[in-house]
Amino acid sequence: MRTDSESEFALVVYQIVSSIPSGKVSGYGDIAKLAGHPKHSRFVGRLLANLPKDSQLPWWRVVKSNGDIALSGEGRQRQLQKLQHEGITPLNNRIPRRFFWPD
DNA sequence: CTATAGGCCGACT
DNA sequence: TAGTCGGCCTATA
C-alpha cells in the first residue's frame, strides 16, 4: 500500500463506492474486501472522510458492517437524510441487513 | 441483546 | 522512532 493518497487502492475504492446501487448500502470492510485488501476497512473510512464537499461519490451509502452509521453529529444527520431519501428506512438507527449490497 | 478483546493499518504528532 | 487515533471487523461470552 502506497502512502500516496492517489493510490490505486483508493481509486478502486472510489469506483466500488460509486457502483453501489441507489437504495442499497455497503460496509467499509466489504468495500475493502472487494478492492482486494480485506484488512483495510479503516482506510476506506478515512478515504470517505477526506472527500471534498463537492464530491459526487455516494459516501452516504457506506455504513458499518453491523448497520450502524459510523458518523456522529451533523454528518450523521446528513447521511440519514440521504439514505431515507433513497427509501432506506433505519430501524432504531440501524440499517437492516436486507439493504446491504452485495447481498 | 450488550460488552469486551484483539486485530488491523495508514496518517499524524 | 514511538505513540496515538480513527466514518472498522470478528470472535466470544
pLDDT by residue (tens digit) across A39-52?
Answer: 999 999 999 999 99
Nucleotides of strand C lying closer than 7 angstroms to a protein CB:
6-10
Q: In which band, very low, low, confident or very high, does the pLDDT at A1 lie, cut at 50, 70 and 90? A: low
Residue nearest to nucleotide B11 (CA to C1'): A3
Amino acid at A41: S
Cell of A68: 450502524
Instruction: Measure, in angstroms, how far nucleotide C11 C1' is from residue A2 CA.
Output: 30
- pTM higher than 0.95: no
Instruction: Measure, in angstroms, how far nucleotide B11 C1' is from residue A86 CA.
Output: 33
Average pLDDT over residues A93-102: 94
Amino acid at A46: R
In chain A, which ranges are E strands? 26-27, 62-63
A24: pLDDT strictly greater than 90: yes
A71 nearest nt, CA–C1' = C7
Cell of A58: 455516494
Residue nearest to nucleotide C9 (CA to C1'): A29
